[in-house]
Amino acid sequence: MHKQTPNWLTQFLIAFGAPGLVALAWWAGAFHAQRIRELQATYPILQITGPAGSGKTTLVSSLWGLSGSEPVSYSANTCSMGALLAFLARAVNRPVVIDESGYDSNENFDWNALRECYDGKPMSTRGTGIPAEGMRFQGALAFIGGEGEVLNRRIVNVHLPRLHPSEAQRNAIQALNELQVGHFTEFVETVRANTVQVAYRLGHVAAYVESMQEDMGPDLPTDSARNHAQLRALLDLLDDLFQVPDEALHQGHCFVNDMAWRHAGSGARL
């Protein structure tokens, strides 16, 4: 456990604020996605939205950097469904990012096939030539942009406002770009090593579900409440591992509650 907030996290918080911290919490959970599904049946699909210039790509690039990896995303316009499903089949306890920016209705892209990326059930592979039997997604799926109506009930949506970066934010993004690889891999190595703490924090999901449903009533279905409760538990995990400043942690929890309110108001579809 860390006694003080590491510099990379300080810079990340300056650069991306509460939305970034929530995305980082989901990203941490992605490295335990299959274990989370074993314990709680599902792990939500992350959707990062926002107008052009809101920093979606910059945020995701930084998240990949924390994984010690170059940014990798698959375009809904150019990637065939068969190629994507083949990659999904190989992804275990790691994020997979699909970029829907500029998506123009690729008829060969079957969004329904991605439903099972939520609960890890056998995936439909209609029209891909790939046998469906035994093909299960064991990673965590994220989208940049798009609407995702088919997947609504399965999604947690981090919406970024139009970015008017301050000098401090620009400097923080530059500092993140200049950090040595070792500073970044500290994140993924620490997250992967703390499986017991992950399970402990997930034990608090039920209490968060109950709290949010008391606040929001029947408009927030249990599965949607669980999706957001898992994010809150993972925020607490980040605090356990990296000493998130109190105000930043509070803002992260408030942001997730706001996400859940918006989701409830949208009338989440099956």
CA–CA dist 31, 192 (Å, integer):
6
Taking the domains of the chain in order of start, what are their residue ranges? 7-266
Write down the architecture of domain 7-266 according to CATH. Answer: 3-Layer(aba) Sandwich (3.40)
CA–CA dist 234, 252 (Å, integer):
11
pLDDT (0 to 100) of residue 181: 64
pLDDT (0 to 100) of residue 270: 44
Collapsing DSSP states into helix, strand and coil, what is residue 74?
strand
Contact between 159 and 19 (Cβ < 8 Å): yes
Q: Which neighbouring-strand residues pair with 74?
A: 98
Token pair of 92 as six digits:
């275990």
Average pLDDT, the chain: 86
Q: What is the pTM of this model?
A: 0.91
**Who wins on pLDDT, 189 or 132?**
189
| Residue 82: band (very low, low, confident or very high) from pLDDT cuts 50, 70, 90 | confident
Phi (first) and psi of residue 140, to 5 degrees: -135, 135
Mean pLDDT in residue range 103-110: 58
Instruction: For residue 51, count CB atoms less than 10 angstroms from its CB and return exposed for 0-12, middle for 13-18, buried for 19 or more.
Output: exposed
> Which segment of 88-97, 146-155, 197-206 scores lowest on mean pLDDT?
146-155
Inter-axis angle of helices 246-266 and 7-30, nearest 10: 40
Q: Which neighbouring-strand residues pair with 141?
A: 96
